[in-house]
Structure 1
Amino acid sequence: MTLSFCIDIGVMSGAILYIKDDLKISDVQVEILVGILNLYCLIGAYVAGRTSDWIGRRYTIVVAASIFFVGALLMGFATNYTFLMVGRFVTGIGVGFALLIAPVYTAEVSPASARGFLNSFPEVFINAGLLLGYVSNYAFSKLRADLGWRVMLGAGAILSVFLAVGVLAMPESPRWLIMQGRLGEAKTVLDKTSDTKEEARGRLSDIKAAAGIPEDCTDDIVQVQKQTHGEGVWRELILHPTPAVRHVLICAIGIHFFQQAIGLESVVLYSPRIFEKAGITSSDHKLLATMAVGFSKTTFILVATFLLDKIGRRPLLLISSGGMVVILATLGLSLTVIGHSDKKQTWAVGLCITMVLSSVAVFSIGMGPITWVYSTEIFPLRLRAQGASLGVAVNRVMSGVISMSFISLYKAITIGGAFFLYAGVALVAFFFFFTFLPETRGKTLEEMEGLFGKLVGWREEAKKMKRKRNEASGDGIGNDQIQLGKI
């Protein structure tokens, strides 16, 4: 589902070049068209949280694909700006569904040993979708101008059909099944998705405890107190959170906020304009350079999938955010030099292109995938769907703000100044991650709540948990899955 969403984003970055000329729209209308989808996502994310607790995670993905299918067709057949905005609205609802449910589903199905690897796959498909979008832009750019952008935007409908059919072959989330009292089905899914039978039994026991089901209950169907519409969840999340839930909420909202606030969305959506400011004037050359952005992003997200469960979330986040500070500042410097020079500065153009490619690469090994992995795995089961929807809401609001303000921002403070500003935000992000975010690698979802509760004192709690694990295993050697106290 995320693949369809990001094909749309990748396509829009190039299609907007032709939409602007064909529909004769202004720069402000361009900003709104590109960024408004992120605000429409809020509706989808809110509804998806409740829907996924009602009909299940799997069928919610089918709903998301169906909505996206309709939205893509509306955009493909748009005859004017208003019609196009209607298509963006419908597509945005589908995207909101997808961005919430894909990481929640993956986190709940995955065993702890591979959760980081598997839950980074939505981000892999995001990057693959961007790359496919960039490639299709170049391929369809040879069509008649008024036809090419419509084909670009409408083609996503085809993929959503295959996704909707394919998801029906996937198992339902075992955690959702247990919350519905369907223990027999949940046990079958856990047996298939765990590394060993012992792990499957342990996961079943932990989830039963979280759902309030007695340990000795072995019936296939049991009666549970269902909260399929989220009754009481918002009160526990917002109005009267425990210290642990408050810490979780700050971490989830913070990581989503900073993922977008550093401005990477501007690079992805407006890369043709950035390359134009760097001196690349040919449309073909701009689209080819944008394809290079997609290749860089896709390559490094694949690297990240293999590092998440080996190195951990926290080290990669710090490396990524620290690297973004340097890269964004250097990009701002190169664009400032180009903007203030009467002659073409080849070295500055080369540096600008290098920094654009580096920014998406460094983002993709840390802040890109880990945001979705981390924010879905830290919420307790009873709060996961609604808590994740809050994270998605913050993410999409910030994405909309960044994408709808970039052109106006760089006109006000220069394009170099815009990236200096983003570099400053990335610096704040680095210190936020260093201070507040515990390492979660190797912990089961049911154990996660014990890591949180002390905003700046979590390290001591993590060390205690590590010692208890070592004592339980009968040796003094730390398990490589719970190196929680290290940066």
Structure 2
Amino acid sequence: MASMILGYDMGVLSGAALYIKKDLRLTDVQLDILMGVLNLSSILVDRPALRHRPHRHHLLRSRVAHGLRHQLRLVAGLGVGYAGTIPAVYTAEISPASARGLLSSLPEVFTNVGMLLGYLSNYAFAHLQLYLGWRVMLGINALPSVLLVLMVLGMPESPRWLVLNGRVKDAMSVLEKIADTSQEAAAGLAEIKAASSILFPDVVDGDVVITVHKSSNEWQVWRELVLSPSPAMRRILLAALGIHFFQQASGIYAFVLYSPRIFMGAGVTDDHRILGITCALGATRALFTLVATFLLDRVGRRPLLLWSSGGMVFSLAGLAVGLTIANGLAIASTVTHNAFYSIGLGSITWVYSTEILPLRVRAFGCALGVAFNGIISGLVAMTFLSMSKAITIGGSFFLYAGIAMVAWVFFFTSLPETRGRTLEEMGKLFGMTDICEAVEIRTPLLCQINSGHGG
């Protein structure tokens, strides 16, 4: 539900922008800023709180912020920040390894369903008075936000978050609900405790165990993840931020927010026809994202990323040519680009960047990824119209095609396959040789205890 509301918010702007510009008499530069401010303001999310407060708490925050959208667009960006971070982290942490690709990609599926609903809303309310239509398109999304606040209250907390905060009994209760057997739940808890650097797993005080972490403050997490990371952690951070960068820098937000402009460039002039084609484009993204959810755990992340980015290169180049000399090619290339994007890069980015991060830095690392994603998508949104005027709209998509080509090289050289691995095993793929290094524990005594050799 959170992802669907977020998707609606992104999709509805695409058509609403046509009427906002006419009603408020905005210039292209002003419209660029309006479209990008939502993404840029999402980086203002309270990053340290993501680790210390329950994940459900942040979903509630995101819905309250979304409810204020029609009053203050900047505040809605805070909701986007939480809604972009928490569903991915939460889903990855409660999913078994065998189905994590499927379950972790569901937020992206519902984001695309939300976008499609936003496009349909544009089409449905386009006949209203100019001053009223776009306001109804934007404001109607406040209603499901209220419903989600009530639904979140019944959600269990992530067992990994509970262990990290010393609530081992509560974590076991959640694992028993989501695991197939009690033995599987117990094994999962033991693995999580090892990755969380629990020193004395048998010492319990009520519902709270005594835990020892290498760091107890956010400065230490910053140091371990960003300021002074180990070589393996540096590779993980590069992979997580790199996939976020290429997801947005390859220009997907130009399609999400400016598809009516693209179709105008392809020779389509009627508003209702433009909105109808946009709805078909949204249906294509939703369909291929759904297909991707069933392929992630069968084909793997890496093959899908390579096929996706390769297809995007040719589709973006075709779109650039089509917008320059052949209008029919432009529409066909737009559809194929969105299909290739949705079946790989669109579906895998949040799954991959979440699952490769070690447990103790996962929430903070995901927050950094969302912030970076928001910055890049905001820049794309705020520069597309101006760049199209400077180098033509066809030239803009040639640029995006070049970026997608670099993305293919990055994915081929830097992203190992993660299919079938537990979250606690991911560190080995990036050069972490043992559990102590994987959780950034270098105290000899603690390493001995965790490996069973302590006295």
* TM-score for both structures, normalised by structure 2: 0.91
Query: 138, 142, 147: which is aligned to 1:153?
Result: 138
Matched, 1:368 2:339: no
Report the equivalent of 1:281: 269
2:363 aligned with 1:385: yes
1:64 to 37, 62, 65: 62
What's the RMSD between the two structures over aligned residues? 1.4
* TM-fit CA distance, 1:214: 4.5
> Is 1:328–2:310 an aligned residue pair?
no
1:222 corresponds to = 209
Read off the aligned partner of 2:7 and give its amino acid letter.
Answer: C
Equivalences for residues 10-159 of structure 1 within 5 A = 10-44=11-45, 47=46, 49-70=47-68, 72-74=69-71, 87-159=72-144
Q: What letter matches 1:223 in structure 2? A: I
Q: How does 1:435-454 map to 2 (within 5 A)?
A: 435-453=413-431
Contact 1:54 1:228 in 2 (8 A): no
CA positional deviation for 1:225: 4.2
Q: 2:440 — aligned with what?
A: none
CA contact (8 A) 1:53 1:228 kept: no
The number of residue pairs the alignment matches comes to: 428
Q: Which residue of 2 aligns with 1:181?
A: 166
Q: Does the C-alpha gap of structure 1 residues 270 and 135 become closer, same or farther in structure 2, counting only changes over 3 Å?
A: same
Q: CA deviation at 1:25?
A: 0.9
Amino acid of the structure 1 residue aligned with 2:347: P
Q: For residues 100-145 of structure 1, give each alpha carbon's deviation from its aligned partner in whole angstroms, at most 9, with x where no partner exists.
A: 1110111111111111111101101110111000000011111111
What is the CA–CA distance in structure 1 between the aligned matches of 2:116 and 2:166, rounded to whole Å? 42
Q: Which residue of structure 2 lines up, in the alignment, with residue 295 of structure 1?
A: 283
Question: 1:471 maps to what in 2?
Answer: none
Match of 1:164 among 144, 149, 155: 149
Secondary structure of 1:171's partner? coil
CA displacement at 1:215 relative to structure 2 = 6.9
Contact 2:70 2:135 in 1 (8 A): no
Give the Cα separation in 2 of the matches to 1:331 and 1:255: 23
Distance change (3 Å), C-alpha of 1:247 and 1:318: same
Deviation at 1:223, TM superposition (A): 2.2
| Displacement after TM superposition at 1:197 (Å) | 3.0
**Where in structure 2 are the equivalents of 1:389-428 lying within 5 Å?**
389-428=367-406
Distance 2:399 2:184 in 1: 47
Instruction: Provide closer, same or farther for how the CA distance between residues 228 and 280 of structure 1 changes in structure 2, counting only shifts above 3 A.
Output: farther
Question: 2:306 aligned with 1:318, yes or no?
Answer: yes
CA shift, 1:5, in A, is 1.5
1:175 partner letter: R
What CA distance in whole angstroms lies between the structure 1 residues aligned with 2:260 and 2:108? Answer: 22
Q: 2:227 matched to which residue of 1?
A: 239
Task: Report the Cα offset of residue 431 of structure 1.
Answer: 0.4
- Where does the alignment leave 5 or more consecutive residues of structure 2 unmatched? 433-455
After superposition, give the CA deviation of every residue in 1:70-96 in whole Å (9 maximum; x if it has no partner): 2x241xxxxxxxxxxxx1100001101
Query: In 1, are the aligned partners of 2:200 and 2:211 still within 8 Å (CA)?
Result: no
1:309 corresponding residue in structure 2: 297
Give the Cα–Cα distance (whole angstroms) in 2 for the partners of residues 420 and 100 of structure 1: 31
Residue 439 of structure 2 corresponds to none
Structure 1 alignment gaps of length 5 or more:
75-86, 338-347, 455-487
Alignment check: 8 A CA contact 1:53 1:229 kept:
no
Residue 457 of structure 1 aligns with which residue?
none
Equivalent-residue separation in structure 2 for 1:212 and 1:34 (angstroms): 43
Of the candidates 246, 249, 272, which is equivalent to residue 237 of structure 2?
249
For residues 424-455 of structure 1, the C-alpha deviation after alignment (integer angstroms, 9 at most, x for no partner) is 1000000000000010111111111111139x
For 1:407 and 1:229, how far apart are their aligned partners in 2?
43
TM-score by length of 1: 0.86
CA distance in 2, matches of 1:163, 1:73: 18
Separation in structure 1 between the aligned mates of residue 199 and residue 220 of structure 2, nearest angstrom: 22
CA distance in 2, matches of 1:216, 1:103: 28
- Shift in Å, 1:367: 0.3
Measured in 2, the distance between the counterparts of 1:192 and 1:440 equals 25
Amino acid at match of 1:104: V
C-alpha distance in structure 1 between counterparts of 2:62 and 2:261, whole Å: 31
Q: Contact conserved, 2:52 with 2:165, CA < 8 A, in 1?
A: no
